[in-house]
C-alpha cells in the first residue's frame, strides 16, 4: 500500500451551484439592508453570514491531516477494470471526516466516496482502476475533496503521489487455445507429463494424457473423462511462441498463458532471443505476464 499524507496547506475552494445562489441571496440582502436600514434585514443577513463562516471553518477542518492509502489489485490487464481498495485514515483525536471523495487524477480513473470516518478510525471503499495500454502505468496525483457540511462550497487538494503499476496485455484467444500445435502468432507446443506428488485437483482429459491417469468415478459422475492433477505437475508442458504480428500477437500470447496456467499446464514462453522454460505456480505465471507486459511497443496486428 502506498501511504499518502497531505501537506499542511490550505485547500482549494470553489462554490457549488447551491453556494452561488446562497451568495446571490447574501448580496441581495446586503443591498436591501443598506438601502432600507431595516434591523430585521440586518439580523437575517448576520445569521446567513454566520452560517457561511461556520461552513468554511468546518469544511477546512474536514480535510485536515487525512491519510490515503492505495491497495492496488494483484493483477491488472489493459482495457479491463480491476478492483482494489482506497483507504482513508483519520488520525485526528477528535472530529470525524465527512463525505470525502478520493480520486486518481492522472491514472486509472479510480474515484470513491467515503460517508464518514470517525476520529482515530480508518475507512475503506472498493475502487476500480482501468488502463488502456500494457506496460508501466504511472500514478501522479490524488485529489481529496468534500462539500461538507452544507454543500455550499467544494474544497479539495491535489497530492503529488508518485507510483508505478505494471499493466499486463489485454488477453485474447489464441490459435492454440485448445492445446496442440496450433498455427499463427501465438502457438502453443504441448507435451504430456507423468503425474507425481500429491493430488491437488482434476481437469478434463486432453489428447495425449495417459489413460491410467483418468479418474473413473469422477468421470462417470460428470460424463466427461477427468484426469488427476498432482503437485509439481499440470496437464502438460506448453511453450507459447510469440509471433511477429504486432500487438495482437502479444495479446494472443497473454491469452494462451492464462488459458494453460488455468488448466494446470507448466507454461513457458519463447520471445525470439529470450526463452522462459515451462514451470508452474503463481510466481512463474506473473513472470510470464511481466515479460509480455514489458516488451517494446509493436504496431497493430
Out of 103-107, 186-190, 206-210, which region has the weakest mean confidence (pLDDT)? Answer: 186-190
Mean of pLDDT values over 24-32 = 91
Give the CA radius of gyration of the chain. 29
Residues 6 or more apart in contact with residue 265 via CB below 8 angstroms: 190, 234, 235, 236, 237, 238, 278, 280
Helices (H), 37-157: 39-62
Residue 209 has pLDDT above 50, yes or no: yes
User: How confident is the model at residue 191, as a pLDDT?
Assistant: 45
Of 145-154, 174-183, 221-230, minimum mean pLDDT range:
174-183
Q: For residue range 114-143, what is the model confidence (pLDDT) as tens digits?
A: 999 999 999 999 999 999 999 998 888 889
Nearest of 261, 271, 262, 269 to residue 240 by alpha carbon: 269
Mind listing the pLDDT tens digit for each residue in 84-96?
999 999 999 988 9
- The C-alpha cell at 265 is 499446464
Query: What's residue 3's pLDDT?
Result: 45
* CA distances to 33, 165, 270, 282 from 110, in Å: 48, 14, 35, 27
- Mean per-residue pLDDT, 44-64: 91
Query: Quick one: pLDDT at residue 71?
Result: 87
All domains of the chain in start order, with CATH:
1-167 (2.60.40.10), 186-293 (no CATH)
Residue of 234 and 36 predicted with greater confidence = 36
What's the predicted TM-score (pTM) here?
A: 0.70
The answer on pLDDT for 201 being more than 80 is no
Between 90 and 237, the higher pLDDT residue:
90
Amino acid at each position: 500500500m502506498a501511504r499518502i499524507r497531505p501537506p499542511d496547506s490550505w485547500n482549494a475552494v470553489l462554490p457549488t451551484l447551491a453556494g452561488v445562489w446562497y451568495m446571490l441571496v447574501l448580496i441581495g440582502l446586503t443591498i436591501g439592508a443598506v438601502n432600507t436600514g431595516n434591523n430585521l434585514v440586518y439580523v437575517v443577513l448576520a445569521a446567513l453570514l454566520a452560517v457561511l463562516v461556520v461552513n468554511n471553518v468546518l469544511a477546512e477542518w474536514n480535510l485536515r491531516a487525512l491519510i490515503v492509502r492505495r491497495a492496488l489489485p494483484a493483477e491488472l490487464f489493459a482495457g479491463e477494470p480491476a478492483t482494489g481498495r482506497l483507504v482513508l485514515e483519520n488520525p485526528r483525536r477528535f472530529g470525524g471526516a465527512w463525505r470525502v471523495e478520493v480520486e486518481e487524477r492522472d491514472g486509472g480513473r479510480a474515484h470513491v466516496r467515503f460517508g464518514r470516518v470517525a476520529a482515530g478510525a480508518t475507512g475503506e471503499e472498493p475502487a476500480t482502476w482501468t488502463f488502456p495500454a500494457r506496460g508501466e502505468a504511472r500514478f501522479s496525483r490524488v485529489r481529496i475533496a468534500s462539500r461538507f457540511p452544507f454543500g455550499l462550497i467544494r474544497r479539495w487538494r491535489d497530492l503529488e503521489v508518485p507510483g508505478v503499476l505494471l499493466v499486463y496485455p489485454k488477453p485474447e484467444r489464441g490459435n492454440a487455445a485448445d492445446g496442440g500445435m496450433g498455427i499463427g502468432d501465438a502457438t502453443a507446443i504441448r507435451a504430456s507429463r507423468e503425474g507425481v506428488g500429491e493430488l491437488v485437483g482434476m481437469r478434463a482429459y486432453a489428447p495425449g494424457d495417459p489413460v491410467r491417469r483418468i479418474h473413473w468415478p469422477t468421470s462417470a459422475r460428470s460424463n466427461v473423462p477427468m484426469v488427476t492433477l498432482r503437485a509439481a505437475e499440470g496437464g502438460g508442458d506448453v511453450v507459447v511462441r510469440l509471433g511477429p504480428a504486432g500487438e495482437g500477437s502479444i495479446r494472443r500470447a497473454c491469452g494462451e498463458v492464462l488459458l494453460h496456467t488455468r488448466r494446470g499446464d507448466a507454461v513457458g514462453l519463447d520471445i525470439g532471443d529470450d526463452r522462459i522454460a515451462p514451470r508452474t505456480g503463481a510466481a512463474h505465471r506473473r513472470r510470464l505476464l511481466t515479460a509480455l507486459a514489458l516488451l517494446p511497443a509493436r504496431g497493430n496486428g
